[in-house]
Structure 1
């Protein structure tokens, strides 16, 4: 099924985290599913990310002309990124044992890139030309290793997505308040109302 790549799909705050979050409900083995099961979605995701992540990318467009060919590399970067930084959030530190696979995956993403990155004001290279999605994904994933970024990584308690908390006092709880935050509020309201009804019914029966 074709995915609608809406703004909510890009609440991770960085390309690498948005990509990690293409696996939905990782914390529910019975309900989890992968939005990249159809490799064609990789190209559609890259097209959407070019807009939603324009600031991070310095305005450089992402290109994924052969999603079937790059899928193994993209998935490898995605999974090692999720594993490394999800554990970093849980433990408060990077597990060195997870680093080799992560670095190897990123190296594969960069291996065939014919571009230059990291110049002043152009962290992803010249915005006048497109950059291979897998290469940009690797750059984004590696940039997560900065200490100030790691300290702001969070896991949404509703959907389990990874995101960067850029709030002033580092108090952001949800990946998306309009979606996950409101769902949790609605769930709490439902539980309170149900509990109140059960108490009321019990009083009526005992009365």
Structure 2
């Protein structure tokens, strides 16, 4: 039987989805990787093979990405560069087409390296669109703001956005 992950936000780019494998839930911290089979289920959900030994590299890379986003600086950059040093893209010609082959020193690091590399790709494309939900610290989720004008504020309008609107309405009603 396949584990179905119950998470508040899915479908973000790999790096942000890795960050979003932890979240607060009714005052407790939830972690997909703490669930039996959670790492394998997450990898499968992301279209990656369930790689033996991937849990520790994923946990480490998740921590590094969080540090890069929340406490940027030389130490965080060094830590991310150490993850990135574990792999590389090698261009190759295959069946008449150009491809980039991912090479990693240890197969267990492949998913973590892909997440770290994916973060760099987001930074190159649109660094100002990597956002944390405006409901922080209640919500700790990150998202890639793909709206036309870049004004998305919530991980989900149905949860955090609705909660904020309801709180504003309640405050208006109380002051009236």
Same fold (TM > 0.5): yes
Query: Does 2:58 align with 1:78?
Result: no
In structure 2, do the counterparts of structure 1 residues 4 and 187 end up closer, same or farther at CA, with 3 Å as the change threshold? farther
Q: CA deviation at 1:39?
A: 5.9
SS of the aligned residue for 1:163 comes to strand
After TM superposition, the structure 1 = structure 2 runs for residues 175-190 of structure 1, keeping only pairs within 5 Å, are 175-190=155-170
Deviation at 1:124, TM superposition (A): 7.4
Distance of aligned partners of 1:117 and 1:84 in 2 relative to their CA distance in 1, 3 Å threshold: farther
Which residue is 2:32 aligned to? 35
Judging by fraction of residues, say which structure has more helix.
1
Q: Distance in 1 between matches of 2:157 and 2:142?
A: 14
Residues 157 and 163 (structure 1 numbering): CA distance in 2 closer, same or farther, change over 3 Å? same
Structure 1 position 123, deviation (Å): 6.5
Shift of 1:118: 9.2
Partner of 2:128: 151
Counterpart-to-counterpart distance in 2, 1:124 and 1:186: 49
Contact 1:124 1:136 in 2 (8 A): no
Equivalent residue of 1:167, what SS?
coil
Which structure has the larger Rg over C-alpha atoms?
Answer: 1
If the length of structure 2 is used for normalisation, what is the TM-score?
0.73
Match of 2:49 among 42, 45, 63: 63
Query: C-alpha deviations, 1:47-77, integer Å up to 9, x for none?
Result: 1122xxxxxxxxxxx11232xx221111111
Deviation at 1:178, TM superposition (A): 2.3
In structure 2, the CA distance between the partners of 1:19 and 1:124, relative to structure 1 (3 Å rule), is: farther
Paired residue total: 162
Q: Which has the higher strand share?
A: 2
SS at match of 1:24: strand
* TM-score with structure 1 setting the length: 0.63
1:105 and 2:83 correspond: yes
Aligned with 1:172 (options 129, 134, 152) = 152
What's the secondary structure of 1:9's corresponding residue?
A: coil
Once the two structures are superposed, residues 81-132 of structure 1 have per-residue CA deviations (whole angstroms, 9 ceiling, x without a partner) of 1110234xxxxxx522311111213334x38xxx85799886676xxxxxx4
What corresponds to 2:15 in structure 1? 16
Q: Judging changes above 3 Å, is the alpha-carbon distance between structure 1 residues 74 and 182 closer, same or farther for their aligned structure 2 residues?
A: same
